[in-house]
Amino acid sequence: MTDTMTPEQRSRCMAAVKGKDTRPEILVRRFLWKRGLRYRVNNRRLPGSPDIVLKKYKTVIFVDGCFWHGHEGCRLYKLPQSNTDFWRQKIHLNIARDYRVNVELRLMGWKVIRVWECEITPKSTRETVLERIYNKIIGLPPRNYDIPDSDINIAAEDTVDYR
Ligand SMILES: [Zn+2]
């Protein structure tokens, strides 16, 4: 193996070797699969090409990288020191597109769940967030959780319902 991989490629490679992919999207998929939910991935026919599509529940899930999707106040969202304006503009366009995609999908009758990578990656909050995603998919009301609603992205989605 030559030493020409980027850190990201290397981590994917190592994950593949160990048979354990820890990318946020994979963690969500694996959890849903274990819970018996079946889905399709990267559906390009729907607005925004949702990461996970659960047709039976008319639900789509996006697992958003905190940098690319501009997670305000998140330690993973730090604009680079050089070309800062370029990056700011680029990410603001991404945020605007995400918003538009949410509206389009909801108007089509889909339930939209967005999860930040920083919610899924740490083991401390992962289980709670995954449970909440599951409940949101199958339509159970949220139970009492350790994490306040304000800390969880998907809670904000609950306030708007286009169905
Ligand atoms: Zn974040």
Kindly state whether residue 125 falls inside one of the protein's structural domains.
yes
Tell me what pLDDT residue 109 has.
Answer: 94
- CA of 69 from ligand 1 middle (Å) equals 9
Kindly state whether residue 44 falls inside one of the protein's structural domains.
yes
Q: Round to whole Å and give the CA distance between 52 and 32.
A: 10
- CA of 2 from ligand 1 middle (Å) equals 33
Q: 45: which 2 tokens?
A: 């026919």
How many C-beta atoms surround the C-beta of residue 98 within 10 A? Answer: 18
Tell me what pLDDT residue 42 has.
Answer: 82
Containing H/E element for 16? helix 7-18
Kindly state whether residue 6 falls inside one of the protein's structural domains.
no
Q: Which of 140, 133, 135 is nearest to 24 (CA)?
A: 133
Which pLDDT tens digit goes with each residue over 15-36?
Answer: 555 555 669 999 999 999 999 9
- CA of 75 from ligand 1 middle (Å) equals 7
Distances (CA, A) of 104 to 51, 119, 147, 153: 16, 25, 30, 19
Residue 151 DSSP one-character state: G
Kindly state whether residue 2 falls inside one of the protein's structural domains.
no
Tell me what pLDDT residue 119 has.
Answer: 93
Containing H/E element for 89? helix 84-107
Kindly state whether residue 55 falls inside one of the protein's structural domains.
yes
- CA of 71 from ligand 1 middle (Å) equals 5
Kindly state whether residue 84 falls inside one of the protein's structural domains.
yes
- CA of 6 from ligand 1 middle (Å) equals 22
Say which CATH number the domain at 91 has: 3.40.960.10
Tell me what pLDDT residue 146 has.
Answer: 52
Kindly state whether residue 72 falls inside one of the protein's structural domains.
yes
Residue 61 DSSP one-character state: E
- CA of 116 from ligand 1 middle (Å) equals 5
Residue 115 lies in domain: 22-157
Total domains present in the chain: 1
- CA of 76 from ligand 1 middle (Å) equals 6
Tens digit of pLDDT per residue, the chain (163 long)? 455 666 666 666 655 555 556 699 999 999 999 999 999 998 889 999 999 999 999 999 999 999 999 999 999 999 999 999 999 999 999 999 999 999 999 999 999 999 999 999 999 999 999 999 999 999 876 555 454 544 445 544 444 433 3
Kindly state whether residue 75 falls inside one of the protein's structural domains.
yes
Tell me what pLDDT residue 133 has.
Answer: 95
- CA of 54 from ligand 1 middle (Å) equals 24
Quick check: 113 and 154 in contact, CB under 8 A? yes
Compute and round to an integer the Cα radius of gyration of the chain: 17
- CA of 72 from ligand 1 middle (Å) equals 7
